[in-house]
Chain A
Amino acid sequence: MRPNSPTKAPAPRTEQIILFRVSGQVFAISSASVQEVRGMDSLSGVAKDISQPGLSKVKHFVRRGEHSIYVVNAAEHFGLPPAPTALVFVLRRTRTALLIDGIEKMTSMTRLQALPLAFCHEERSWYRGLTALDQTVVPVVKPDGFLTPEELFLLDASLSQEADEKARPAAEDDTQDGQDMSLTQ
């Protein structure tokens, strides 16, 4: 008869996270949620301007195939003072790219506490929860919390309106050309 093997406590599940800074405040995001990390320079050639009244946190967008990815200024989103941004996170499974000051470090968390229910406003859609790391508390952001479906709708509408406006003079030119042709004929 073999002796019972000692039962080991299961190792705590960990999740890889990136700690990043926005206007001096540290946040965390699951590294699985970050598709790309790019420098600001790499955006300058491809980003186009967009202006949507009441949505000043989005000033640029990038075309990716059929989709538009909106560049959200994280400091403005969180209501923090503006700070020089150096990096962009392109967030997976969203249409958001996030302007941040920089990356603090990569680490892992073993426990995510739900945001206490005392927090009862917009922040509930911003954060997945809070985690304690090295005796400090860090909010863990929700990748899809930077733009609400309503905000995405407004931004999409703004782009399609812009595209319509660009297309209209061309169409008018075509009509004009047609008239000219009929006149000459």
Chain B
Amino acid sequence: MTLIAESELQSFVLLRLGDRRFAVAAGQIAELVAPSRVFRFPHHTSEIEGVILRRGRIVPVCDVAEKLIGKGLKSRRFYLITQRSYGTQTEWVALPVTGDCELINAEMTLPSDTDAPHVSGWLSHAGDVIEVLNLAALTPGPTETAPATATLQLQEARP
């Protein structure tokens, strides 16, 4: 009985946006980093505010607070770097968060038909009911993705 209960527990990272907490499956988290300079350039994807440089990678920054709590973040404490899947490909996306993150083990309840597309489930933790986020529904991306590698060598990238 205990063994079965334990096997249903999954790891999640809790993140804070203003007064609310949300969860992301721990397997989708790359790291938590201090805010760094956001580089901006012209584009038309309104959810993306720019990119940061992290370990030689260029990572888009996506402020999901507007969608989740109805207002953008005025201050940010960390960037939670998540692994966002695009079909068979995975890329890093940085989510600004306003407080510490916490790793927990909890049992996830599946979403109902009436839940928003960005909800992939629910957790009950420390008296709160917490949304588990579906990054694919929450962050922008093409509807169809070409099987391309994230980093191109110049030889391949020449026009």
Question: With an 8 A cutoff between CB atoms, is B5 at the interface?
Answer: no
Residues of chain A having any CB pair with chain B under 8 Å: 13-15, 25, 27, 30, 33, 78-80, 109-114, 116-124, 126, 128-130, 132, 135-139, 142-144
Chain A hits for B154, CB < 8 A: 13-15, 109-112
Interface size on B, residues (CB 8 A): 37
Q: Which of A80, A116, A130, A135 has the most CB of B within 10 A?
A: A116
Chain B proximity of A30: nearest CB distance (Å): 7
Interface residues of B in 50-83 (CB under 8 A from A): 51, 53, 56-60, 62
Assess whether B145 is interfacial by the CB under 8 Å rule.
Answer: yes
Instruction: List 14 A-B residue pairs with CB atoms under 8 Å apart, sorted by A's residue number.
Output: A15-B157, A25-B41, A80-B42, A113-B150, A114-B150, A114-B152, A116-B93, A118-B140, A119-B140, A120-B142, A126-B42, A137-B39, A137-B53, A137-B58
Chain B residues whose CB sits within 8 angstroms of the CB of A13 once the complex forms: 153-155
Residue pair A121, B43 in contact (C-beta under 8 Å): yes
Contact present for B152 and A116 (CB under 8 Å): no
Render B82-95 as a binary contact track against A, CB cut-off 8 A, 1 for contact: 00101001010100
Q: Quick one: given A116-B59, A116-B91, are A30 and B159 in contact (CB under 8 Å)?
A: yes
Which of B43, B149, B157 is in CB contact (< 8 Å) with A119?
B43
Q: Are B145 and A132 in contact (CB under 8 A)?
A: no
The binding surface of chain A is classed by DSSP as: mixed
Q: Within the assembled complex, what's the spacing in Å between the Cα atoms of A123 and B159?
A: 17
Q: Are B159 and A132 in contact (CB under 8 A)?
A: no
Task: Give the A-B contact count at a CB cut-off of 8 A.
Answer: 103
Q: Chain B: which residue is nearest A128 at the CB level?
A: B157
Please report the C-alpha to C-alpha distance between residue A119 and residue B49 in the assembled complex, in whole angstroms: 10
**Candidates B45, B51, B86, B159; contact of A128 at CB < 8 Å:** B159
Q: Contact: A118 with B62, CB < 8 Å?
A: yes
Known: A114-B148, A116-B59, A132-B53. 19 other contacts (CB 8 A): A13-B153, A33-B159, A78-B42, A111-B151, A111-B154, A112-B151, A113-B57, A113-B58, A117-B86, A118-B91, A119-B43, A120-B141, A120-B142, A121-B44, A122-B44, A123-B43, A123-B45, A132-B58, A142-B159
Q: Hey, which chain A residues are within 8 Å of B148, CB to CB?
A: 114
Q: Does B48 contact A (CB under 8 A)?
A: yes
A114 B151 Cβ-Cβ under 8 A: yes
CA distance A50 to B45 in the complex (A): 30
Q: Are A121 and B151 in contact (CB under 8 A)?
A: no
Interface residues of B in 116-156 (CB under 8 A from A): 139-142, 145, 148-155
- Is the Cβ of A137 less than 8 Å from the Cβ of B51? yes
Within 8 A of A (CB), among B7-59: 39, 41-45, 47-48, 51, 53, 56-59
Contacts of B155 in A (CB 8 A): 13
Chain A proximity of B59: nearest CB distance (Å): 7
Contacts of A137 in B (CB 8 A): 39, 41, 51, 53, 58
CA distance A30 to B158 in the complex (A): 9
